[in-house]
Chains A and B, each alone.
Chain A
């Protein structure tokens, strides 16, 4: 018996009780722009992998901002979601940590401060009075970190920058800076690095001015209503990905090494920043 079939059989047994009533209903897996969620071929492969391992129907749900996915999790519309550490720490009492992606060997990432390719700036201070692009109000790397950094100096973004706006996507922050719409922006380091491989023409028009310290990588969480069996099934499927050929192909496309169980403590630094700006 192949590993994948064995895994599927084992998980199916575990899940059977949990979703016996609604076995025909798909698992709703929310995605946010913490990853490049517009790569549909990649998503189809990932779904195929998850469908096969979990033994059910997994349906990816995409929304235009983080808040809608968070609301979906809390409202029972979405079962699992790949969200940012910031909303996770905000709702740590409701959301359960399913897995944390491992990128470049660690379950950690950074926030990048980017400017135009020809920019001479060396830090955030150089963008005082400029137009700044954030990704999402619920993004750690794309908003919280900059807001926290300014707050430590007793500043608000609206005071420091001439104008700010949200693009609701890390990728769009990169575009806004590349097009000159914004003088600078803050983005998820993992997204920028992935874009640098997928769309080098875009990232080449921007420059990383500064990198933050390490933060816990945006995690995959489960909604409060998800039973333990389903939780275990999905968690198992994610943790096993790096040991399956199809899973490895998806991971390679995601530019990830795999998924780790992770621990809430990974997000302590984000929680601290969130408290500081609250």
Chain B
């Protein structure tokens, strides 16, 4: 995974051009708040208009009734000015915002006695010259037996309603009537005031909700951002800790985090597998190389053994020559067996470990110990009544002993001891000087450790492989005083 757009795969798009969720979610919440605010304001406005209209109709009816009660004397006595003052009084108290109603007082003949708009409906205007809704109201007033107690005409055409009340004397004789015409709905001034207030309070409410929405939206999106950042960095470092803070959530983002953690684990497992495969491949190459070398070595060794046997067959050798030939023969055979062991060919040529093999081993190791100025303690005995392959055992012991001598500094001590249990023969090789810790041993056994010269150290790896072939083990054990490291090779015993 790479953050470099040039790589082409999984490249992050530039932030500025992206319509990020970081913006989308808060903006969506703000938009929802805005739309809700407008919807609520519209509904409120509709309700207010409906309420005001219902209220205004009742108010118009009350006004007509009140005026009718007050105007009796003025109309009866033909007192136009008094009637005008009565009719005008409510409109003088009215505020400028409210739409003024049209009030018309008619006499018993149906003519205008007085009106609030003398310019439009002057005194004496007959019913025929009145606008249709007013004329209809006059008809109701003049009707001998009005069908209803109150008059209400909802005039859709002129967007107004008309109410009327009769002015009667004490004997119920008709004196005249009052007609009140009111514009439907809110006046422009009222509408403007309500819309302004709705807009102001609505804007404040929407602003508050929008701010809350923005903050809430940012908070909602933050875990997703953390997960995204963790995914971005996953290529460069271990982000499990960062993802854990998200994966603990009990929501979809938490599920994403959990799934991502599982994916990280699978990727690690795959990487480990790849590493192991690479290692195995390398070992296989080494094996093939070793087999080639072994083949090349085995051919001349065969010639050498044949030459030694021919010399013996000719006879006539003194004892010293005989021992030398025997030594040469065992050495060449050891080389042959060792190389064969590497090729897994030794199995067919199994030679039982004998005291001589251990003695030869001492002869090989001792000069090296002396050369290094190292004291060698050698207490090794062949296990009784069991058969161990001499080539592999000698190779293992030789490797361990030479390693220990190398690890013990000049003037150091190396101890090689064997002990026998019921199921295994243990060879413990201890040394002073350099300490071998378990991690380093693991590297050495894996064949991953390098020497100071940069080459792979294969001695212990071969040792372990030989032991593994025999079903044995190699491990560190607490060393006895004064040693600092003790490696123990355990060979399983098959009792005969």
Contacts and interface: CB of A to CB of B under 8 A. Distances in A.
Interface centre among B79, B80, B124 (most CB of A within 10 A): B80
Contacts of B119: 180
Interface string A160-174: 001101111000100
Contact of A166 (B81, B122, B124): B81
Given A165-B81, A166-B81, A181 B124 contact: no
A95 B124 CA distance: 41
Interface in B107-124: 114, 117-119, 122-124
Contacts of B124: 131, 162-163
Contact of B118 (A162, A166, A168, A180): A180
A220 interface: no
Contacts of A181: 80-81, 84, 114, 118, 123
Nearest to B117: A180
Contacts of B81: 133, 165-168, 172, 176, 181
Nearest to B115: A181
B78 interface: yes
Contacts of A131: 118, 122-124
A193 interface: no
Interface in B67-81: 78-81
Contacts of A133: 81
A179 interface: yes
Contacts of B78: 165
Contacts of A163: 80, 123-124
Contacts of A182: 118
B118 A165 contact: no
B122 A165 contact: no
Interface residues of B, number: 13
Nearest to A169: B81
B123 A176 contact: no
Interface in B97-146: 114, 117-119, 122-124
Contacts of A167: 81
Nearest to A162: B124
A182 B81 CA distance: 10
A67 to B, nearest CB: 14
Interface residues of A, number: 14
B446 to A, nearest CB: 111
B92 to A, nearest CB: 11
B175 to A, nearest CB: 17
A14 B383 CA distance: 171
Contacts of B117: 180
B414 to A, nearest CB: 129
A176 B122 contact: no
Nearest to B116: A179
Interface centre among B80, B81, B114, B117 (most CB of A within 10 A): B81
Contacts of A176: 81, 84
Interface string A168-208: 10001000100111100000000000000000000000000
B118 A179 contact: yes
Interface centre among A165, A166, A172, A176 (most CB of B within 10 A): A165
A133 B85 CA distance: 14
A165 B85 CA distance: 13
A46 B344 CA distance: 146
A137 to B, nearest CB: 13
A217 to B, nearest CB: 25
A172 to B, nearest CB: 6
A96 B460 CA distance: 155
Interface string A139-170: 00000000000000000000000110111100
Nearest to A172: B81
Contacts of B118: 131, 179-182
Interface centre among A131, A168, A172, A181 (most CB of B within 10 A): A181
B85 to A, nearest CB: 8
Nearest to A179: B118
Contacts of A165: 78-81
B86 to A, nearest CB: 13
A133 to B, nearest CB: 7
Nearest to A167: B81
Contacts of A180: 117-119, 122
Nearest to A131: B123
Interface string B45-66: 0000000000000000000000
A118 to B, nearest CB: 11
Contacts of B114: 181
A239 B216 CA distance: 88
Contacts of A162: 123-124
B103 to A, nearest CB: 13
A206 to B, nearest CB: 14
B81 to A, nearest CB: 4
A165 to B, nearest CB: 4
B109 to A, nearest CB: 13
A41 B276 CA distance: 115
B166 to A, nearest CB: 22
Nearest to B118: A180
B80 to A, nearest CB: 4
Nearest to A130: B122
A59 to B, nearest CB: 27
A96 B53 CA distance: 63
A190 B365 CA distance: 153
A179 B119 CA distance: 8
B71 to A, nearest CB: 14
Given A165-B80, A176-B84, A181-B84, 10 more contacts: A131-B118, A131-B123, A133-B81, A162-B124, A163-B123, A166-B81, A172-B81, A179-B118, A181-B80, A181-B123
21 contacts: A131-B118, A131-B122, A131-B123, A131-B124, A163-B124, A165-B78, A165-B80, A165-B81, A166-B79, A166-B81, A167-B81, A176-B81, A179-B118, A180-B119, A180-B122, A181-B80, A181-B81, A181-B84, A181-B114, A181-B118, A181-B123
Interface of A: 131, 133, 162-163, 165-168, 172, 176, 179-182
8 tightest Cβ-Cβ pairs between the two chains A and B: A165-B80, A180-B118, A167-B81, A180-B119, A181-B118, A131-B123, A163-B123, A181-B84
Interface of B: 78-81, 84, 88, 114, 117-119, 122-124
